Amino acid sequence: MTIAHLLEDFGIKTPVEPASSFSEEVIEEAKLVSFETGYTAGWDDAIEAKDKETTRISANLAGSLEDLNFTYHEAQTQLIESLDPMFKVLTSVILPDTMAATFGHHIIDHLNEMAKGQISEPMEIVVAAGEGNAVRALLGEESTVEVRVREDAALSPGQAQLRVGQSERELNSEALIESIKDSIDAFSYQFKEDNQYG
């Protein structure tokens, strides 16, 4: 004799309907609904995974671009800071020396340009005291017309006034160098301000 009758049965007894009570249409409909539900759940999971991956890639790209931008600005700042002393030497030593060495040729070039079509007009060059002989020497080499060269103590070295007929032109290498220096200083100042305050 078994003891099964003494033990409590915890199993759920569900009545099983005979298989013949379900029609093929109901079974196919249930399979279709089950497939649709599974397909939709899979599709939703795929879209969610794609969105997470897109968000992660976008965040990585934004971080990389930020790093790249910082590196670019850092390199640009170092470049400008390293060029600043060179610009100071350029405007305080090299340009003034170059202008002084070539100022006479510069005068002759401007005079030739002014004289085009006015060769018969009187020509005059007024330079600073002590610069007349250098200009006359250059004219002796290149000029076939008579040009009056005069010195004026009111002019500083690197200044000249040219007259051809009624046309006049003033050359001022110091003002030009000062203008270049001011432009470089303004650029450096603006760059530093932009870097400091964004």
On whether residue 51 sits in a domain, the answer given is no
On whether residue 6 sits in a domain, the answer given is no
CA distance 98 to 94: 6
Segment 53-79 shows an average pLDDT of 81
On whether residue 13 sits in a domain, the answer given is no
Percentage of the chain modeled with pLDDT above 70 = 91
The confidence score (pLDDT) of residue 97 equals 85
On whether residue 80 sits in a domain, the answer given is yes
Is the pLDDT at 141 greater than 80? The verdict is no
On whether residue 172 sits in a domain, the answer given is yes
The confidence score (pLDDT) of residue 88 equals 83
Segment 103-126 shows an average pLDDT of 84
On whether residue 8 sits in a domain, the answer given is no
On whether residue 31 sits in a domain, the answer given is no
The confidence score (pLDDT) of residue 101 equals 83
On whether residue 111 sits in a domain, the answer given is yes
Name the phi and psi angles at 159, rounded to 5. Answer: -115, 145
The token duo for 140 is 């002796």
Residue 137: CA count within 13 A, CB half-sphere: 7
Structural domain boundaries enclosing 68: 61-197
- Overall domain count for the chain: 1
The torsion of the CA quartet 114, 117, 122, 123, rounded to 10 degrees, works out to 20
In this predicted model, what pLDDT tens digit does every residue of 25-45 receive, in sequence order?
Answer: 888 888 888 889 988 988 999
The confidence score (pLDDT) of residue 114 equals 84
pTM of the model: 0.52
Is pLDDT larger for residue 71 or for residue 97? 97
